[in-house]
Chains A and B, each alone.
Chain A
Amino acid sequence: MASDVFVDAADAQGDALGFQPERVFVQHPIQDRTDDEMVALADQAVDALVRSICGS
C-alpha cells in the first residue's frame, strides 16, 4: 500500500524484480494528516484491499 505518488515507481520496481504484486494506492500526502484523516483513508481503501487479497 502506498500513496498515489508511487504509482509509476511501483511499476518500475515490479519490472526490476520480475514480479508485480497487488497494489492499493491512497491519496497523497500522508505526513501531515490527522488521526481522523488516516482512519478515513483506511476506510476508503479497505474494499480494494480485500479484493486484492481474495480476487474480485
Chain B
Amino acid sequence: MNKYIKFVLFFVAVFYQLPIYAQSGLTVGGIVMSENGETQIGVSVMVKESPSKGVVSDLDGHFKLSGVKANQTLVFSLIGYDKIEMKVVKSDEKLRIVMKERVNELDEAIVVGHSRQRKISVTGAITNVDVKELKAPATSITNMLGGRVPGIITSQSSGEPGKDFSQFWIRGISTFGAGSSALVLIDGVSGDLNTLDTEDIESFSILKDASATAVYGTRGANGVVLVTTKKGVAGKLSVSLKTNFGVTWSPRTPNYVDGNTYAALANEATMSRGGDPVYSAVDLALFKNGLDPDLHPNVNWRDVILKNASTKQQYHLSLSGGAQVARYYISLGVLNQEALFKQDQGINKYSTNVNYKQYNFRANVDVNLSKTSILTLGLEDIMVTQNYPGYGNSSQSLWDAQASLTPVTVPIIYTSGQLPAYGPTNDQISPYVLLNYSGFQKFYKNTTNLNLQFQQDLSMITKGLNFTALFNMNANSELTTTRYKSPALYYAKTRKRDGTLALEKKRDGADPLFLVDTYVDRKYYFEAHANYERVFDKVHRVTGLVHYYQEDYISSYDRSIPWNTKPLTDLTAIPKRYMGFSSRFAYAYNDTYFAEANLGYTGSEAFEKGKKFGFFPAVSAGWVPTQYKFFTEDLFPFIDFLKLKGSYGQVGNDKMSTRFPYLTVMGVTGSGIWDSGNGYSETQVGSSNLRWETSTKTNFGIEAKFIKNKFDMAIDFFKDVRSGIYLQRASTPEEMGLVTLPFANVGKMKSWGVDGHIAFTQTINKDAYFVLRANLTQSKNQVVDYEEAIVRYPYLSTKGYQWEVSRGLIALGLFKDEADVQNSPKQTFTNSVLPGDIKYKDVNGDGIINDYDVVPLDYSKTPQIQYGFATEFNYKHWNLSVLFEGVSRVSYFSGGTGYYPFAGREVGNILDIVAADHWTSREYSGTAATENPNAKFPRLTYGANANNNRKSTFWLNDASYLRLKNVQLSYQMDGAFLKRVGIKSATFSIIGENLHVWDKVKTVDPEQANDNGAVYPKQRVITIQMNMQF
C-alpha cells in the first residue's frame, strides 16, 4: 500500500520539478532511506534558501542536486516522516540521509508478548517503562525498578558488589509454591536481568494480567518482564560513550558498645540472674585503660576490616549505524566495583578484597536478505570475574564475624605475633584473620548468548502478515578457584608465671589448599510466529498471532532450588523442556472499541504423559470514549484521553521443587535386621494427577490524560486467585505409610491490589518545564487453602492469613515485680521468669503461655505497598531529577544473634541501644528508677533466654521507609565547539543514590532489618558521569 502511494508521489513530484534546471555550485547527492534501511522514494529535497530549487529521490532512493551554494540548507521531507535539514558545506555525492518515521500518537507501539501492539489498543495490564527513567548508574536494572515502576515490589538485601541485586515480584507475592518470581525475557528468550547492561535496553515492558501473559501459558503466572535490546539504525556511524565514577560507603551500620561497656553489661547479665560476674573489677579497669591489649583487648572489628569508602567505575561504548544491506549496534560495557574491605597491606601479594568486574559485549546486526526479509544476528557475551577472601564465596563470613566477635574476646594479633581464634571452628576466627590470612577465591562466569532471527514480510500472501522465526543458544559457564589457607591460631586466657602469654593452640596451620568447582548450563530456544494486522474499511482493525516455541535446558548442577544446589541425579540430568503454542486475536473498531482473546496451549516435561499440556485462555476488552467528539468537547472538555479496560483469564505456573514427582523411583536399600541381602524400596513415591498451579487473574484498568495532556495517569485494579498450588503433603496422616511424602495441587491463595501511576507535566516557558510523577503498587494476599495438620486454635492456621505473616506472642510489657509474675499465667518456655522479663498474653485462656498462644500479627516481611514519587525539572541545558521511593505495611522481628543481648554468651556484639535502654533490677542498680517498664530490652540474660528471646510483639517492628533514592543533576553541552572536535553532545551529571532514608528501624537499613547488621550494608553512592555522543 505504502509503496503504491510513494510511487504515485514520485511521479507527481517529478512532474512538478521538471522546470528546474541545474546551476553551477556545489553538487550534493546520495541516498535517502528509512531507519531500517529501506530506500525512500519520492522524498522531496529542497534548498531552504531558494525554495524553487529541488529534486525528488528516485525509485532507488537516489537524489542529486547541483548548483547548491555553500552554507545553504537542504530540506528533506516526506509525508509521514520528520523533516530533515542539512547544511551544505562541500560537494558530496555519497550522502546517506535517514528519514525518521513520524509516529502518530495513536500509532505508538509497545512491546507485548511475541509482538508489538499499538499502545491505544492494549487492553491488558502492561507497564511500558520509559527507558530514560532507567538510566541511573545502578549496577543492575533490578535496583531501579522499585519506586519507579508501578506493579513491582522489590527488596534488596545486600550491598555487596556482585550481590547487590534486588529481588522483585510483579504485583507482589501471589503464590506460596516453589516459584513466585517473574519470567524475564530478553529479546524473546529467558535471561538474567542482573547482568544486563542498562545502556543496551531499548524497551522494557512488564506484563501483569492474564490477557498479557496467557500466551506464555505455564510460565506466565507470576508476570513477565519483556526487554528488548537496541538495534542498529541506518545512517552514519553514531558513537556513544558513557563513563562514570562513583564513591560508595555505608550510610548506616549498627553501633556496638566498646569493650568496657560490653564487660559491664555482661556482668549485669549474669549477676542479675544470680550468676557470678564474668569480668572482675581489674578486668573492667584494663578494658578501659587499655594497658593489657593481649588479654584485655578493646577492638572495634569493623574499623579493622572496613574502609570508609570504596569506588566503582562503569564504562559503556556503543557504535551504531548501517545502510540498506545491514545495520549494526555494537556495545561494550565494563563495570568494576570494589568492596569496602580493608586488606592489611604487606601480608599477601594478592588481593582478598571482594571485587566484582563485569564485561558486557553485544552486537545486534540486521541484514536485509531481500526487500521483505530481515535476518538479525544478536550476539551477547558477559564475563564476570569476582574476587573473595579464601573463606567462603561471599563476604558473609566476614560480616558474621564482625557482628559476633566482641571487642574484648581477642586482640587483632597477639603482641607476641600469633594470630588469635577463640575456638577451632571457622566461626570462631576473627574477621581480620578471615580477611587477610585465609587465601583468596576467584569466581569466573561467562554467559554467551546467540540470537538468530528471521523476519519475513508476507504481504505477498495477504497484506499485514509477517513471519518471524527465532533461534537462541545460551551457554553459561562458571569456574570457582579457591586457594584456601589457614594459619595456626592461638588463644590466651592467662599469663604464665614468667609473664608471657599462656597461648593455647586452637587450630593447626593448614597448607594451602586448592579447590576448583565448575558449573555449566546450556539452553536452546526456538520460536516461530506469524503476526497479522490489517485495517479494513478504515475502522476495523484486525490483529492476529500464532506462535510456537520449544526450549531445552540442561545444567551440570540442579539449581532448581536456589538455596540448595545439588549434584545431578539420573533424573535431574534430564533436560528441562518446554513447548507451547499460543495465539491472539484482537479486534478494534475505529480505535474506540477493543476486544482481544489470548490463548496459550503449553506443555512441560514436568508432568506425566497426557497431562503435560494445558490451555490458558484470556479475554479482554477496552473502550476509549474520548474518540467521540461529544465526549471530549461536550461532556468532559478537560479529558483528553480516557480508556477503560478489563481482562479475565488463566495462566499457569509449573515451577516445582522436585523434578518428575509423578514418577515412582525405586532404589537400593538395606534389609535392616533381617540381614538378608539388598533391599529395594521406593525412594520417591509418585504422586498421581499432578498439574501446574493455575492463576485466575482479573484486571480492570483506567488510562487517562487530562487538562491539555498535562496529567497522564493509569490505574489498574487486580485480583489473582492461585489454585492448585503445588505442595508436599506434609500433613497427611502418617498411617498413609508413604516412604516419601507425595506432592499435590492442594494450595490456594488469592492476592489483590492496585497499581498505577500519575504524571504531571508543566511547561513554564520555552526553556523550562517540569514533570511530577508518582506511582504506587499495593498487593495484599491471603492463603485460602493450605494442607496443614489439625490446628487447635483457628489463629494457628495458615489459612485465612497473609502468606508468611509475622507470627508471635502478644507481649504485655515487662513483668513489674514478683507478684506480677505470680499472678500471671505460667510462661512455659523457661523454668522461671523474673521481673523485667517479657510478659505474654494468654491468648487461648488455658492458663499457660506456650506455642499455642502464638498469633498472626500485622504484616509480613515483604511489603504490601511500594510507592515512588519523582520530579524532573528542565531548564535549558540543565536537568534535575529527584526520586523518592518507599514501602509500607511491612514488619519484621528484631532478634537473633547480634540483637538479643548476650544470647550467644561470649559471642555476639551488643548494640549501643542495649546499653542505653534496658531494664535493670533495683537490686543490681540500687535504685528502682532503672526498672523501666517501657525499656527497649528486657532484663539481661547471659546466654539463651527462651522466654524473652522469641518472636513476640515486643520485638516486632515496622520496616516501612521512605528513601531519597536518587538525585541527579545534569548539564548537556552541544555547542559549536564540541562539533568542531567531533562531539555531537556531551552530558555531565552528578548522581546521588540512597541519599537519605526515613524509617523506624534506625540501627540498620530498613531493607536489611532482618540481618541484624551481619550483612554487607546497602550503600550510598555518589557518582559523576559523562555521556558523549559522537
Q: Is this pair of chains taken from one and the same complex?
A: no
Binding site for A on B (CB under 8 A): none
